[in-house]
Structure formats: C-alpha cells, structure tokens
Amino acid sequence: MFRSFHLLACALALPLLLASDFALADSLPKQEIPATTTLPQTIDLTTPAPDLWARIRNGFAMPDLENDLVTRYQRQYQSYPGYLHRMVERSSPYLHYVVEQLELREMPLELAFLPMVESAYNPFAYSSAHASGLWQFIPATGQRFDLEQNWWRDQRRDIVSSTRAALDYLQYVYEMHGDWHLALASYNWGEGAVGQTIARNRAKQQPADYANLRMPKETRHYVPKLQALKNILGNPELCAELGLPSLPNRPYFYTLTIQTPMDVALAARFAGMNPADFFALNPGYNRPVMPAQSTLVVPVERFPTFGEELRQHNEPWSDWGVYVLQSGEDLSEVAARFGLNLADLKRINSLGGETQPASGLALLVPLRAPGKTVPAEAKTLDDPAFSRLARQGMQPLLFAARTHTVRKGDTLGGIARRYRVSVANLKNMNRLKSNSIRVGSRIALRVERTVAMSGQHPALFSLNSGAVASARMKEAPVMMEEEAVPLPDEDDLSLPPISADTPSPEEDTLTTEDTDTILSLRPSYQMRL
C-alpha cells in the first residue's frame, strides 16, 4: 500500500516539475543553429568551361582503372614535369578540335588524351611498325578507314582526317564490346585478337573483362598510361603544382577546300605564316604542291588575311608541273634543266638509291626556275600527265637504324616477318652464315621509312631558296631512357619507358620527329566553311 501511494505522488508531481523546466527554458537566450546538410555539387553544362581542361574534366565518362601499373605510370609522369609540359604544348594546336569532335559523337572526353599515349601529340610520329600520325594508324588500318596514302598525301598524318578515322574506329570497337577499356585494347591490339581472347576466357568460364584478359605487354600497359594521364590532367591542383599551362577553350583553326592545285609555300604566304608553322597544321601533304580538292587548315586569326590574299592573287597558284622522263635521259640532266640539283629532284619525287629510274616516269618539276627557261615538254598540273603522277605510289626513301634483342623462342624468320624484311637481308646486314641466333644477341635492322618522316620534307621545298632551313626536322624533346625512374621488377610489372618518343631495343616503341616551330603553335580547332 505504501508503494502504491509513493507512485501516485510521483505521478501527480511530474507535471509541476516539467512546467517549471519549460518556464526556465523560456527565460534563457535563444540561438538558432544553421542546418549542416550540404547539397551535392552540380555542373552547369550550359555555361562554357573557363578553360579547355575544365571542359574535358566535365566530360569524363569512362570508369576509372585502379592498379599498380596506373600508380607507377602516374609516378613516372609526375617525376618529369618538363616532359608533360612539352607534350601539353605540342597538343595545344590540336586538342580543342579533338574535344569538339568527341562531344559531337557523345564520346568520353578523356579519349582526347589518347594521342598523348600514341604519339605524344606529334603529327610526324612514325613507328617501327609503320604507324604514322597523332593516332598512329598503320597503312592497312588507315586504308580500312578511308585514309588516303598516296604520292601526294598521307592522311594518317592529317589532323582532320586521322581524327575522324580514329573516332570511327573507337566507336566501332566500343559498339562491339560495350566496354571502353576493351575498346582501347582493341584499338591497340586489334579487335580480332581481343575478341578471341574474350572467347577463350568465356570458354574456360573465366572473367572476360580488361583486367582479366591475357594480352601483350604493350596492350596491358596501354589503358594504365591513359588512366595515369587522366588522373594528372583531371586534377587542377596537381596541374598547377606541375606547372602545366592552361589552354583556352576556343577554336584555333578553320578549314577550307581549294579547287585547284596550290603550292604549300603560297598557302603559307596567304596565311602570313612561316612554311614550317603552316605545315605543322597541314602535315599530311608529301609534296610542295597540294592537289585540287585539298582541305587546308588555317588559324582563326589568319583566316581573314588568307581570304583577302586569295582574292587579290591574279597569278597561277602553283609553280610546279609534270615532266615525263624520256628514254636514255639521266636524272642529273633533268635536274639541271629545271634549275635543281640532283639531290633536291630526288627528294621532291621520293626517289631513293642510285638506280636510274626507267623512262616514262612522271616527275614533279618547277615551271618557273630562277634564271632557267623551262623545257616545253613540262606540263602544268591540269595536264593529263598529272594523272600519271597520282598513280605513282610513295617510294621508300630513308631507313631507320635499330636493333632487336633476341629473346627465347625467337627465330631469324620470325624477326624478319615482324620487321617486314627478308631473312637474306638480315643475314647480310649482320654477317650471319646460318639462321642460328643466340639469346641476348642484338640483330641490326634497317626499317624502311618514307621521305615524309625525316630530313627536309619535300612539301617545304622553296623554289627561291631551296629547302627551307627552318623547316628541317629534328628529334622531338623526349624523356631519355636513362632518366626513367628505376622500378623494381615485380610480378612482371617492370615498365618500359613512358615516352612514346624513346627508342627501346626490346619494344616497338616510337621514334618521333617534329618541326623546329611546332611547339610555338597555340591551341587549335577546325570548322569547315
């Protein structure tokens, strides 16, 4: 009974206690506490990005890859900010256009970094496998995607055409696999090889994604290189720390199509540019004259000047014509008749070696040589003889010296097939008496290269002063192999040099060249008018 009474008393007293507490709370000063909830950050895609890097970052759409190779490549790139800076500067004339084309196709914008992996954004890059240009097309794949490769031009080096072909190829392999990492592996290794590897894994009931496929070392390192660049260039603070330049988010160049043949030197003069600067934007041409229906790339600020000069020019657009070699005629005689030395005549026409060409060969010759009366047999480029020139394919002229280190399982025949040379050629060059080769020995090679890749390019030849001195090709700035950060060999993850420019005797790495002035060019874009 006592316990029941106590509980009743407590129940009656509780309202009085609560009332006194509320009265005390009302008498205390009040302070409003703001809400701590933050809304998720959004990106306004209707507002132009402040610079090109921000625009690219806003368009990242590929899943990130995280593995040891990515970490190691990112460490290597960051260890050489000078190399990154040069590569970004080299990309600046072309990057805006690539980004624009990716956006038009609704493709991930990190693909704009792919030419950094392929060629270090050097349109003159040329590999031992005969891949050429920013996107490194080999001849067969270039033909498959409608890139012209003839005596007059090689569109694998053309900025506009090669970008169109590369994005066509990437879209094709993405639609095939539905996965961007597999699409990139296909771009590097070939969709057939990737498809066979996927089928093999599925037959074994094994995972068939990029991370679990067995692939060549070059392909296994391919996507990690792109991801490492994405990690660096996608981080504004890191870019600032590395001193990488900001790129304006605006077009650099427009395009126009010429209806009749035009000299490269004349087009450069119309644009008010040094021929080497002009050629860096139009690297696909092989001759000092561009054929009719050629597409020219002209910087935006030079476009009005180009149009005005074009309208006021009342003379022929080309000082070049066609001469057909006669029976018994010597090349040195032809060169003298047209005011050229023999070396220049050969270079302009991609004629290598000491062999005398057969009669009937069509030669590109100057129609207005200083101090010379041009032979009447020379024809202008609108003559039917011009078609004979067009049918004459590009002739191999120069050779790149390199070596191959013999590995276990290598055979002389296999090495010959890989580098597209004959066994007899290899034996003769290396003074081998038999087909036996020793593991670890080095086999000397001589890989064919076209005239467009080295020396003074024919397209930059001037009738008044000979080959333009400032247009001489030179080795692109590269990160030397001995500068590479030493990494431990661990689970076969030792890395080749990250520079696509650095030759390696054990890898089909690139050897690149560019013009003296290419690094001085500014950001670029293209629009057809």
Which residues are tagged catalytic? 118
Round to whole Å and give the CA distance between 411 and 414.
Answer: 5
- Residue 70: CA atoms inside 13 Å, Cβ hemisphere, count? 14
SS3 at position 147: coil
- Three-state DSSP at 402 gives strand
Structural Rg of the chain based on CA atoms = 32
Least Cα distance to 279 among 93, 478, 477 occurs for 93
CB-neighbour burial class of residue 1 (10 A; exposed 0-12, middle 13-18, buried 19+): exposed
Contacts of residue 267, Cβ cutoff 8 Å, sequence gap at least 6 = 258, 278, 282, 290, 296, 306
**Does an H or E element contain 297, and which?**
strand 295-299
Alpha carbons 236 and 351: distance in angstroms, whole number: 50
- Could you tell me whether strands 396-405 and 379-380 are parallel, antiparallel, or unpaired per DSSP bridges? unpaired
SS3 of the chain: helix, strand, coil, percent, to 5: 45, 10, 45
